[in-house]
Amino acid sequence: MTPKKQYYENLADSLIEKFNLRGIEGYYCDNKEEALAMAKRFLTPGCSISWGGSMTLSEIGLMDALKVSDYVLYDRTTAKTPEEKTEMYAKTVTADYFFMSSNAITLDGQLINLDGFGNRVACLITGPKNVIIVAGMNKIVPDVESGIARVRNMAAPPNAVRLNRDTPCAKLGRCADCLSSDCICANLVITRKSMTPGRIKVILVGEELGY
């Protein structure tokens, strides 16, 4: 084990203790292959699943794995009309499992997420029976203020580029605190604890994943 891997494992152990105090279940996987296997172990036959936009989920191979399964998938990208999209969002909040990543995680176990329309953070807060978060150790930050700065300056700019948004951060590579019509930073949610113990599960991965 390399020193960096040992550091990740030690840090994850500390974080999992903090999660436990907040009613959140924490797990650690050394790599993306282990993370995918663990994520799939939570699922039950015939369960319903949805997810929020996430490069991390794609990078561990979860999206490909789900689409060749027999699970019931609520995939908003399949909606072809505004009415179908509304219907899909309504189904999403009833899902047995909702997958997402977290934009940042503090050393004391708080989750920090910044959304555009807010469908991802809405499901984190309430609705789906289980929320499974997969996050690389690059998402760990010292505190809430550092986490917000990370989201706005390290996560949002590349996401704006990926989504072809016409925002200052897409051009500058840093947050300009904009109110652009294309802004993807409308709803900031800081999760201090899970009101339903164990509903939120965080899989920490000993790799750099996502933005």
Domain ranges (residues) in the chain = 3-205
Residues 173/157, Cβ–Cβ less than 8 Å: yes
Two structure tokens written together for 55: 């490069």
Query: What 3-state DSSP class applies to 154?
Result: helix
Locate tokens 């399964």: which residue?
69
Q: pLDDT tens digits for the chain (211 residues)?
A: 899 999 999 999 999 999 999 999 999 999 999 999 999 999 999 999 999 989 999 999 999 999 888 899 999 888 889 899 899 999 999 999 999 999 999 999 999 999 999 999 999 999 999 999 999 999 999 999 999 999 999 999 999 999 999 999 999 999 999 999 999 999 999 999 999 999 999 999 999 999 9
Locate tokens 């105090």: which residue?
21
Question: What does the longest C-alpha to C-alpha distance in the chain come to?
Answer: 52
Residues 77/122, Cβ–Cβ less than 8 Å: no
> 3-205: which CATH topology?
Rossmann fold (3.40.50)
